[in-house]
Amino acid sequence: MATVSLAYDLHEPPTPVADKQTAPIIVMHGLFGSKKNNRTISKVLARDLGRHVYAVDLRNHGDSPHNDRHDYPAMAADVADFIRQHGLKDSTLIGHSMGAKTALALALHEPDLVADLVAVDNAPVDVRLGSDFARYIQAMKKIDAADVTRQAEADKILEPYEKSLAVRQFLLGNLHRSADGDGKTQKFRVPLPILAKALDHLGDFPFKDPGEVRFLKPALFVRGTKSKYVPDEVIPLIGQFFPKFELVDIEAGHWVISENPEAFRQAVIRFLEPKE
């Protein structure tokens, strides 16, 4: 499988824990996100745990290369490659949404590369993606066609499609001044046609049978209490794929890390701190 070389930001701890030099945390964003969404939490975890934190851009997002294939086996292979290229051992994976399914797929496929993981508001199940994502792409294509020069113009086009200002700002974080234009026009850096095609199977999970494959190391599943992504009925399946799992509910919607960063920080630190 052709992999792409992932762009990343490395957040180094002020006082590294000696035996954790090569045992990093790798943080993965969700659909339409990028490494810059995880800058704050990455810095905080580096500080509090004394570990190096790599915030990566998954393929077709942020500064990472574009590729026609956009599914979980491909994204997991990219991250596996990243771990090998950087000579990392005992990595902790933290992923939100699409990043969570990428982490889960990688842990099941190549458990030797992963020490433990934190899956934020997603689970190892097939679900239909909400229609809001298709709506966002429709709006983003409109913005691209409008040759906007200011974010406020883009926001006006997006508003009828998404009422929440926070979600609109998150999506518009993908705009940049395109080098091939007049230097003023803003375009989306994510490849909208590729992601539009991928939407139908981004709700899928590549592993179907926990009788065939399991991850026997610690896994933390974090749910937003106001989110529908991890309903109670999927908890038994989580336990079959990830028998050493813990579940934490955090007062938040789907965007758990940005909506309730302190509760998320505490849950992750409790999970990752060395057990006596």
The residues annotated as belonging to the active site are 97, 254
- How far is Cα of residue 148 from the mean position of the Cα atoms in its chain? 28
Which one-letter DSSP state was computed for residue 15?
S
Where b means 16+ CB within 10 Å and e means fewer, 196-221 reads eebbeebbebbbeebeeebbeebbbb
21: its two tokens: 């030099």
- Secondary structure (3-state) at 95: strand
Which one-letter DSSP state was computed for residue 267?
H
CA atoms of 220 and 118, how far apart (whole Å): 5
CA atoms of 241 and 126, how far apart (whole Å): 14
Bridge partners of 95, per DSSP, are 28, 119
